[in-house]
Amino acid sequence: MIKVAFVVGEHSGDRIGADLIRGLRSRLGNDLSVTGLAGDAMAAEGLTSLFNIDELSIIGAGAIVARLPQLLWRLDQTTRHILREEPDVLVVIDSFSFSHRIARRVRKARPGLPIVNYVPPAVWAYRPERAADMTAYIDRAISAFPFEPAVYRALGGPPSTYVGHPLMGDPKLATIRAALDAAPVLRQPGTPPKLLILPGSRRGEVARLGRDFGRTFAVLSERIPGLEGVLPAVSRLRGRIEAEVATWTVKPTIVHGDDAKWEAFATSDAALAASGTVSLELALAGVPMALAYRLDPLAYRLRHLISGWTAALPNYIVDHALVPEHFHEFVRPALLARKLERLLTDTPERHAQLQGFADIRRKMAVDRPPGEAAAEIVIDAARNRRS
């Protein structure tokens, strides 16, 4: 029997953890026991979470400060639980601020317990010194980006292995990717074209970007008569998004649910999106994009700590400025509309992004599902501890 303890702080990490549990069970069968902190997806795989991870779904430095006493209590509670459970290996997934504090505490109390970090912090974008610091409490890193192992090696971090991004295992996205790879020519825009609008998956993101995105869509609609717009709304923000769109002078069609989202990705000609993981979804789905973002006020004051040359994941993967980014004072509707107009029509800018996205699909391709490859690393860590 191998007991694996998990620390997961966000729903994106929960989906990764569920995929990992399936990979572990395919190798271990009934000789697997899981415990720790997780969400609904991992609960469906048999893990009863210590508490609801929605408490940890916080974005922005200001929000973290406001919730600090609660977070400190949860840190103590989670650490005590893991030590009491005596697992064979601890797996921390994403959520650096919370999960790595747990890892450091557990390492101090149980130096012999192997600790694996699935989706390690983005040291290539922010605080690169963290890579070397991690070697004190992280034994192995499992990366979701093909460029990351080389970065960790160069920075003196723990050994890192690329297993593929969880998005590569999504069947709906896989169908879109297969169609793109089979097409003899680059996809041409529709007549009229369709714009995909993605103002973020967090309440704060929608609040800070909604007005700008509405104005951009209005300007663009004047420049491209008949332009269609579609906005896939995150279910937990449905009311907030509908209220925001109600104030727009030109309104897109709001759709709900996973099927509707991927249908929008498959049929849209370009996207205006909040910078984040969605940029990788768009790249893999072959949707040209312009990205925008506004930090919360406290995070904005700490922006000098950001060391990366870009915030767009597609740009990191191809190692050049493929996707345009707009932050704060450069989130200008008239500017964004003109950038998007070039992506919604048959232009060199559109062709460049589509060709770059084909390169990204090739770079990110893996021979087996990420969960299976990650499970092998976790099992190896647990068994080496026993030997």
Query: What's the whole-number average pLDDT of the chain?
Result: 91
Percentage of the chain modeled with pLDDT above 70: 96
- Beta bridge partner(s), residue 3: 33
Query: Is there a single domain that holds both residue 201 and residue 97?
Result: no
- Residues 164, 167, 169, 173, CA torsion sign: negative
Query: Is there a single domain that holds both residue 237 and residue 248?
Result: yes
Q: Which helix (H) or strand (E) holds 215?
A: helix 203-223
Query: Is there a single domain that holds both residue 41 and residue 178?
Result: no
Under 8 Å between Cβ of 230 and 255: yes
Q: pLDDT, tens digit, for every residue of 216-268?
A: 999 999 999 999 999 999 888 899 999 999 999 999 999 999 999 999 999 99
Q: Give the gyration radius of the chain's Cα atoms.
A: 21
Query: Is there a single domain that holds both residue 214 and residue 307?
Result: yes
Q: pLDDT, tens digit, for every residue of 259-305?
A: 999 999 999 999 999 998 899 999 999 999 999 999 888 777 877 77
Residue 84: CATH number of its domain? 3.40.50.2000
Question: How many CB atoms are located within 10 Å of the residue 112 CB?
Answer: 6
DSSP state of 116: E
Query: Is there a single domain that holds both residue 328 and residue 183?
Result: yes
Note down pLDDT in tens along the chain; length 387 residues: 999 999 998 878 898 999 999 999 999 999 999 999 999 999 999 999 988 887 775 544 444 555 667 778 889 999 999 999 999 999 999 888 889 999 999 999 999 999 999 999 999 888 899 999 999 999 999 999 999 999 999 999 999 999 999 888 788 998 999 999 888 888 889 999 999 999 998 888 999 999 999 999 999 999 999 999 999 998 888 999 999 999 999 999 999 999 999 999 999 999 999 998 899 999 999 999 999 999 888 777 877 777 788 989 999 999 999 999 999 999 999 999 999 999 999 999 999 999 999 999 999 999 888 999 999 999 999 998 754
**Whole-angstrom Cα distance, residue 316 to residue 321?**
8
Q: pLDDT, tens digit, for every residue of 235-244?
A: 888 999 999 9
How many domains is the chain built from? 2
Q: Where in the sequence is the domain holding 358, given as residue range(s)?
A: 171-364
Query: Is there a single domain that holds both residue 202 and residue 346?
Result: yes
Query: Is there a single domain that holds both residue 126 and residue 258?
Result: no
Query: Is there a single domain that holds both residue 222 and residue 160?
Result: no
Report whether the peptide linkage leading into residue 158 is cis, meaning its omega lies within 30 degrees of zero.
no
Can you tell me whether residue 255 is helix, strand or coil? strand
pTM (predicted TM-score): 0.84
Q: pLDDT, tens digit, for every residue of 196-209?
A: 999 998 888 999 99
**Whole-angstrom Cα distance, residue 327 to residue 291?**
8
